[in-house]
Amino acid sequence: MVDDGSTDRTRQVAEEAARRDTRIRVLRGRGEGIVPSLEQAREQATGEYLARMDADDVALPRRIAAQVALLGTAPRAAVCGAGVRYVPEGRVGGGARRYQRWLNDLDTSAQLVRDRFIECPLAHPTWLMRPEALDMVGGYRDEGWPEDYDLLLRLVEAGWGLAKVPDVLLLWREGDGRLSRNDPRYSAAAFAGCRAHYLARAYLDHDGVVIWGAGPTGKAFSRSWRRQGGVVRAFVELDPRKIRQEIHGAPVVPPEELEDFSGSLGVAAVGRDGARENVRRGFREQGWEEGEDFVVVA
């Protein structure tokens, strides 16, 4: 347990727990925030795996056993997550419900890797990790965007896989005091910057991007991509009112003109789940392969 400058009874409660159970160690944090605290705990941990969670969440009794069993069958998986349920019910808004549904619908390792540029596909408080994988990529870092998303993308970039127990094994505390609600490192812009940074590194050999979706999601991705120094070659749209216009200096074209941009990376940038599947189908109908020729982002 890392007490990073609490001002209530946290340290007293933690030390009482440590006296009852000698497996518990209480570390005094340096008051520098979540990333130094995570790294401090990682330095002190000696177990075969690293299990992560926050003080206000609830791990259900089967969590660790189920995740250890799954990692035992997946030697190339660096991280194993699990299904989640936000609590308390009355505090859970529409955005959190959509994210919970999206997270819990991802089951296979292939889906987790495929959809990593939409959002972080594993809830951080559910992570069970291989220490050697974190050592390989340098552990947690503070880059001005979400530390968990940054770490997960670096692990996949280094060739590690992801795994997940589909059962709900963690109750995820919702509330106004969460860092994700208040810290600029977890803002939509910070997520977008992280996503664009690693997407550019993963697809260096492509000639710019073609963004399918000229709505708010596509335009937001265009802005973050261009801030990374990337080139937007075109937008793809079905709406005839948008076709032949320009967005951020790039032409808006219909899907049948995708062949004019072979060599570019296709980016499906739409906000709704159903629309994502339609765009996936549209790219495939034009002969583009997901993961090679196009990716889906949020």
pLDDT at 271: 84
Superfamily covering domain 203-297? NAD(P)-binding Rossmann-like Domain (3.40.50.720)
Cβ contacts of 41 within 8 Å, gap of 6 or more: 2, 27
CATH class for the region spanning 34-182:
alpha beta
- Mean local confidence (pLDDT), 180-206: 90
With cut-offs at 50, 70 and 90, classify the pLDDT of residue 183: confident
pLDDT band, very low/low/confident/very high, at 180 (cuts 50, 70, 90): low
C-alpha to C-alpha distance for 8 and 3, rounded to whole angstroms:
11
Three-state secondary structure readout of 36-54: HHHHHHHHHCCCCCEECCC
* Mean pLDDT, rounded, for 132-154: 97
- Confidence at 78, pLDDT banded by 50, 70, 90: very high
Complete DSSP assignment for 192-226: HHHHHHHHHHHTTTS-SEEEE--SHHHHHHHHHHH
User: Do 203-297 and 34-182 have the same topology in CATH?
Assistant: no
User: What angle in degrees, to the nearest 10, is found between the helix axes of 216-227 and 188-202?
Assistant: 60
The pLDDT of residue 177: 64
pLDDT reading at 274 higher than 90: no
pLDDT higher than threshold 70 for residue 289: yes
Instruction: Provide the pLDDT for residue 178.
Output: 66
Mean pLDDT to the nearest integer, 277-281: 95
- Amino acid symbol at 89: E
Every domain of the chain and the residues it spans: 1-31, 34-182, 203-297
Measured distance CA(180)–CA(204) in Å, rounded: 30
Q: What percentage of residues in the chain have a pLDDT greater than 70?
A: 98
Q: Are 15 and 8 in contact (CB under 8 A)?
A: no
159 Cβ neighbours under 8 A, 6+ residues apart: 76
**Residue 234, strand partner residues:** 210
Classify 86 in phi/psi space as left (phi over 0), alpha (psi -120 to 50) or beta.
beta
**Interatomic CA distance for residues 29 and 113, integer angstroms:** 33
The C-alpha atoms of residue 74 and residue 134 are separated, in whole angstroms, by 16
User: CA gyration radius for the chain?
Assistant: 21
pLDDT per position as a tens digit, 208-245: 999 999 999 999 999 999 998 999 999 999 999 999 99
What is the model's pLDDT at position 155?
98
List pLDDT tens digits, range 245-271. Answer: 999 999 999 999 999 999 999 999 998
- Per-residue confidence (pLDDT) for residue 71, from 0 to 100: 97
The verdict on whether omega for the bond into residue 254 sits within 30 degrees of 0, i.e. cis, is: no
Q: Report the percent of the chain where pLDDT is more than 90.
A: 88
- pLDDT digit string (tens) for 7-34? 999 999 999 999 999 999 999 998 899 9
